[in-house]
Structure 1
């Protein structure tokens, strides 16, 4: 069996996006700027002919896996700065009407299952949370920040010690764009 000598992945840089590669990859666009460090000894990241090239010479199994991971992270940075990420969530309650408020870097959930103390969920990084009626919209340019904020909202309303078939109250993901 012959191993590949060089594995190479290319990512096209769209118009309106600029990329600088030093010890970290920085992507700038009209919506803002994202930067991230990638530490892996056998992977080289460089810019070539309007493309970002991620390559590995004499790759081992872990290098092949990291190559795809790094390519996906850089691609998500570019998508975030061109289109952004939006997660639509829905507030669902049957027993006690809960109220949800976003202020600063946290979301406060009052009267969840009739509890006296409010529950809170952290808003991570540059993500923004909008609440319109029974809809919660989480938007941002970083996929990790938007996804973690959405997960924090779901986890804050997780029900323990009750039958989940009866108590389906909570904040749930409906769609992502």
Structure 2
């Protein structure tokens, strides 16, 4: 049995869980998330906790036990608190703004970069160089943040680019003079 998989998932009071056959639906104040759970798992709800139990103890099923428990825990945290990623723009003239459902980035190109914001994601620009991205689905949040970052990944010589908050860049020395 997986050490992580056997831990119970604590449910806040504002979260409602529905389990129909293999479809797990979790509702909270920030949204609703659904996940298809394989038939080898049984999700039991009791006393404000969820327990993910494994039906068949094979090697591959044991490997998935901790994964599905963590996915369910992330769903519960997402609908009750939301996840947050912060991106920092570092470079001369780099700035961001939100116009409707579009994130507009000025990253030193000859044109601004327009990125459509998905429905389930909230984007807020603080100052002009800090982007706060919030969502209840951790997977979609990470994917959108990676798409924004892919326009200007941080480079090791001057440290310019789009960085995650508190990210450390290994700096290189560059050319040495004569």
Is 1:28 aligned to 2:43, yes or no? no
Structure 2 CA distance for partners of 1:124 and 1:59, relative to 1, 3 Å: farther
Residue 99 of structure 1, CA deviation: 2.9
Name stretches of at least 5 consecutive residues in structure 2 with no aligned partner.
168-178
Residues 62-99 of structure 1 deviation map (CA, whole Å, 9 limit, x = unaligned) = 111211111111101111122111112211004xx023
Q: In 2, Cα distance between the equivalents of 1:131 and 1:85?
A: 16
Q: Which residue of 1 aligns with 2:174?
A: none
Q: Which residue of 1 aligns with 2:70?
A: 72
Please give the TM-score of this superposition, normalised by the length of structure 1: 0.78
- TM-score computed with the length of structure 2 as normaliser: 0.78
Correspondence list, 1:91-130, <5 A: 91-94=89-92, 97-110=93-106, 112-113=107-108, 115-130=109-124
Which moves more between the two structures, 50-59 or 76-85? 50-59
Deviation at 1:105, TM superposition (A): 4.6
Question: How many residues are treated as equivalent by the alignment?
Answer: 163
**Which is worse superposed, 120-129 or 27-36?**
120-129
Tell me the equivalent position of 1:172.
163
Equivalent positions of 1:9-158 (< 5 A) are 9-22=7-20, 23-38=22-37, 40-94=38-92, 97-110=93-106, 112-113=107-108, 115-133=109-127, 134-158=129-153
> Quick check: 1:122–1:149 contact (8 Å CA) kept in 2?
no
Please report the RMSD computed on the Cα atoms of aligned residues, expressed in angstroms. Answer: 2.6
SS of residue paired to 1:156: coil
Contact 2:153 2:163 in 1 (8 A): no
Q: Give the conservation status (yes or no) of the 8 Å contact 2:89–2:95.
A: no
Structure 1 unpaired stretches of 5+ = none
